[in-house]
A and B are shown apart, each in its own frame.
Chain A
Amino acid sequence: MRKYSVIGNATCTQSATLPLITLISTANIRPRINDVVLGSGASPVDQNGRFALQRCTTAGTPGSSLTPQALNPDDPAALAGSGLAIFSAGPTLTANAFVLQLAGAMRSTIRWVPKDGHEIVLPATASYGVALMALQVSAAWDLSMMIHYTE
């Protein structure tokens, strides 16, 4: 099992269609998300937000593509892909397929960790994946995101 990390920073503009970051599978692997961390490195102010991972069936058009980094340098390059905001075209989101929801404040760091065997699993299908959506934010603030997953 190879472990990878995706890290990105984006302004968390509220949107039900355009994600902040995506993790997209391929035909040969089933990525398993085992760590999600949300925080902010900007000057702290009282803002809050509600974020959710939603399943998607296309990758959309990201502002930039992220290359997942292997946590073990001996591991090969990741097969999964990732996109970072600002998306010019959002991925095709699966209605009501929210697999995780996290709410928190800008001043705090939120982390979600599953128990072994209870990771969020993506299908082994090209372009299928999950998108981190800012469902509700009090204001647009700089959000730092980190997703760890295995292939």
Chain B
Amino acid sequence: MPEYKHVPDPHGAIIVDGHEVANTLQCCHCGCHFVSVKGSGTVRGFCLRCSAVTCGKPECDRCVPFEKQLEIIERKAHGLPGS
């Protein structure tokens, strides 16, 4: 039976019919939430600069904190330099 609630400090919860069935973690680089399943074999990451988990996508291996990513998107959209 997979363990969907093994995370000691989860970032979110999935609740079905009033019962908490799984926990989610948030990637510190892209901001996505994912369910960490113990023993699933899915490779996740950990950023030593952010000191937080990443979702494991290759583009999230490089440290660009989510706040910085938002700023990049906003500067680009507003046509500001440095984007």
Contact = CB atoms under 8 A, between A and B. Distances in A.
Interface string B1-26: 00000000011111111000000101
Contacts of A108: 16-17
Interface residues of A, number: 26
Interface residues of B, number: 22
A50 B77 CA distance: 31
A112 B24 contact: yes
26 contacts: A27-B77, A30-B70, A96-B57, A98-B32, A99-B32, A100-B24, A108-B16, A108-B17, A109-B16, A109-B17, A111-B14, A111-B15, A111-B16, A112-B13, A112-B14, A112-B24, A113-B15, A114-B24, A114-B33, A115-B10, A115-B12, A120-B31, A120-B33, A123-B70, A123-B77, A125-B77
Interface in B31-83: 31-34, 57, 66, 70, 73-74, 77-78
Contacts, number: 66
Interface in A89-114: 96-102, 104, 108-114
Contacts of B15: 110-113
Which of A30, A108, A123 has the most C-beta atoms of chain B within 10 angstroms of its own C-beta?
A: A123
B33 A99 contact: yes
The 4 closest A-B pairs by CB, nearest first: A118-B11, A114-B12, A125-B77, A111-B15
Interface in A52-91: none
